[in-house]
Amino acid sequence: MTGGIRRVGVVGGGLMGAGIAEVCARAGLDTVVCEADATAARAARERVSASLERAVGRGGLEPAAAQDALARLAFTGDLEEMADRQLVIEAVVENADAKTEVFAALDKIVEDPAAVLATNTSSLPVMRLGMATARADRVVGLHFFNPVPVLPLVEVVASLHTAPGTVTAVESFVTEVLGKTVVHSRDRAGFVVNALLVPYLLAAVRMAESGFATAADIDTGMELGCAHPMGPLRLADLIGLDTVASIAESLYDEFREPLYAPPPLLHRMVEAGLLGRKTGRGFHEYGRS
């Protein structure tokens, strides 16, 4: 079946959606990115174009290959453009209502009953999104990692309704077409990676909140003491503190374990708009590009 998937749609052109679209286009796929409106669609195009330019600048991509990838991409503000897609990957904001609305709409728009509807959610139940459609057997989680063009992992998450054939098809697509590595997870909040990672990040937030150590010392300690490539608070800033808080809330709602509860400092920073790299300030400060 994977040999037949040539037309991919991505709903959401933010950091994750743009990255997913880029890797699909670089793999030779006809890729359409849908954003909320034409202005957001232009911003998504600029985001992908800038990423391709960086790849060329690093020597990881030939200029001609970057041009070819961009030529395979179309950007729109009209969800109806997903009608002929064989695989649609949702990558909108990590909000259950927003994602459910997208899946309900895609169920009516996507014409091929064999098409796969996938979500890039990092924490929400795939089952909930599948039940918003009349094709829950064709709904699956495909959780990519940021930055998508660089990190080689994708979590494949099947709900209780997802057909085994859907799982096999998307696993083959991810490994054979996109060239990434798959790990499988049950449909539980956080899946494999975030269920392990987020409590660690929250512990670092609590340590900084208590005044036990500074953000700089916490990060330096884990980088130099544990050989982590990035300290927990810098990593939280990279992910986005709003996203970390959202994942933590989903984990806490599901498991009711104190280690998953977002610390008050994290909530205050999100309320203040101090979201990390994307706003120029989180636990650390970052220069605006």
What is the longest distance spanned by two Cα atoms in the chain? 56
Is residue 122 annotated as a catalytic residue, yes or no? yes
Contact (Cβ atoms closer than 8 angstroms) between residue 105 and residue 36: no
Whose CA is closest to 143, among 174, 169, 176, 121? 121
Of the candidates 51, 120, 122, 185, the residue annotated as catalytic is 122
Is residue 49 annotated as a catalytic residue, yes or no? no
Of the candidates 51, 123, 194, 246, the residue annotated as catalytic is 194
Is residue 111 annotated as a catalytic residue, yes or no? no
Whose CA is closest to 160, among 137, 194, 193? 137
Rounded to whole angstroms, how far apart are CA atoms 23 and 288?
A: 26
Question: Which of helix, strand or coil describes residue 45?
Answer: helix
Is residue 171 annotated as a catalytic residue, yes or no? no
Of the candidates 22, 94, 143, 161, the residue annotated as catalytic is 143
What is the number of alpha carbons within 13 Å of residue 88 lying toward its C-beta? 31
Of the candidates 22, 35, 90, 155, the residue annotated as catalytic is 155
Contact (Cβ atoms closer than 8 angstroms) between residue 189 and residue 255: yes
- Catalytic sites, residue numbers: 122, 143, 155, 194
